[in-house]
Amino acid sequence: MKATARAHTNIALIKYWGKRDEELILPTNNSLSLTLDGFYTTTTVEFRNDLTNDIFYLDNQCISGIPYQRVTQFLDLIRQLAGKHIFAEVRSTNHVPTAAGFASSASGFAALAAAGSKAIGLSLNDKALSRLTRRGSGSACRSIYGGFAEWQKGEKKDGSDSFAVPIKPQDYWDIRVAAVVLHADEKKVSSRVGMKRTVDTSPFFKGWVDSIPQDLEQIKAGISERDFEKVGSVAEANCLKMHATTLGANPPFTYWYDTTFTVMQHVQKLRDKKIPAYFTIDAGPNVKVLYLPENEADIKRELESIPGVRDVILSKAGQGITYL
Ligand code: PMV
């Protein structure tokens, strides 16, 4: 009753921002992402009769508190699905530089769902695995697939139709992402809290939700035409709209730092110099820059020259879940 799985993190080009059900993690809008090869989590789950509770090691450290609770609550879902009452030892290794500003929760929960369900004897198809993964962390449900994936929000109250589907595989298009790491403190507003405050109080939230279908249609057209400018400009505009909703919240908040803004301006400057590059930003200050392989050297040089930038980590499109 032991299995090991690897999952990669993903970056949303059309963001998931807002839940219609907090408990089941059901979103108010569809989202679309690119899985990245540079950042992943490897997890081994072993269900054992001799255990009286779950044990969770992350990077060889025994974990307690809230991160432990999120893991055991997720294992409860797996036990429920399998109809088995048995505890597990979970060992995870994160290959996501914590400072890179990527949520390791996406690769973490996708790897846990895959290894855990396999170890307990369930054989879930991708849809079922994505649906299960969603309950750990919403954005993680897209990490089941390599390349481009879309999380379909679904309509049903029980969440049975809310899961991700593949759009294009990893090798479809060599599109790249530079993670621009800034000097930053611990995040002040988690994505969970930020989303809830936005949904509850921001008058801009309705505009955000209403604009999604058109953004999705355009970005999907851009992907199928391999039109970098179309994909990049839709992703950048979608990111700005998401962040605009937080400024309308009560109390208002933003994830941006002055350096976040500086990086955004440099990306626009690159475009003025005819180097295609577009940014996107999640629930934190760091910026991710989309670019094409032929511009890699210029992009890296420009981004590294910006004062306040601590690191620039480059990544290609990544693969979906693999079992080791
Ligand atoms: O899945 P969570 O709770 O980590 O929320 C992720 C939210 C964003 O990263 C801001 C957007 C997204 O779609 O990944």
In the chain, the domains with their CATH numbers are 2-172 (3.30.230.10), 176-315 (3.30.70.890)
- Are 302 and 265 a contacting pair, CB within 8 Å? no
Ligand 1 centroid from CA 57, angstroms: 24
Nearest Cα residue to 21 out of 130, 162, 132: 162
User: pTM of the full predicted structure?
Assistant: 0.96
Residue 52 Cα to ligand 1 middle (Å): 34
Residue 115 sits at φ, ψ, to 5 deg, of -70, -45
Q: Which among 93, 100, 97, 98 is positioned nearest to 115, based on CA atoms? A: 93
Residue with tokens 């590294």: 304
What is residue 183's predicted lDDT score, i.e. its pLDDT? 76
Q: What is the pLDDT of residues 41-93, one digit of tens each?
A: 999 999 999 999 999 999 999 999 999 999 999 999 999 999 999 999 999 99
Binding site membership of 282 for ligand 1 (Cβ less than 6 Å): yes
pLDDT tens string 11-32: 999 999 999 999 999 999 999 9
Taking only the tens place, the pLDDT of each residue in 174-214 is: 999 999 999 777 667 889 999 999 999 999 999 999 999 99
Separation of CA 84 and ligand 1 centre (Å): 31
The three-point CA angle 35-58-26 to 5° equals 50
How is 245-274 classified by DSSP, letter by letter?
Answer: HHHTSSS------HHHHHHHHHHHHHHHTT
CA–centroid distance, 286 to ligand 1, in Å, is: 14
Concatenating the DSSP letter of every residue in 129-195 gives HHHHHHTT-GGGGGGGSSSEEEEE--S-TT-TT-EEEEEE-GGG---EEEEEEE---S-SS-HHHHH
**Which ligand 1 atom sits closest to the C-alpha of 282?**
10
Alpha-carbon gap, residue 131 to 126, rounded angstroms: 8
- Is any ligand 1 atom within 6 A of the Cβ of residue 198? no
- The Å distance, Cα 91 to ligand 1 centre, comes to 24
Distance in angstroms (rounded) separating the CA atoms of residues 206 and 308: 35
Q: Does 298 score more than 90 pLDDT?
A: yes
Beta bridge partners of 288: 179, 280
Atom of ligand 1 nearest to the CA of 105: 4
| Percent of the chain surpassing pLDDT 90 | 94
pLDDT given for residue 187 in this prediction = 67
Determine whether the shortest distance from the Cβ of 105 to ligand 1 is under 6 A.
yes
Please identify, by atom number, the ligand 1 atom nearest to the C-alpha of residue 242.
10
pLDDT in tens, 239-290: 999 999 999 999 999 999 999 999 999 999 999 999 999 999 999 999 999 9
Nearest CA to 173 out of 121, 241, 248, 223 is that of 223
Q: Is the CB of 31 under 6 A from ligand 1?
A: yes
Ligand 1 atom at minimum distance from 151 CA: 13
Kindly state if the Cβ of 104 falls inside 6 Å of ligand 1: no
- In short, whether 58's Cβ falls inside 6 Å of ligand 1 is no
Q: How many other C-beta atoms lie within 10 A of the C-beta of residue 229?
A: 11
| C-alpha of residue 48 to centroid of ligand 1, in Å | 33
- 267 C-alpha to center of ligand 1: Å? 22
Q: Is the CB of 218 under 6 A from ligand 1?
A: no
Q: φ and ψ at 203, to 5 degrees?
A: -70, -15
For residue 51, report the distance from its CA to the centre of ligand 1, in Å. 34
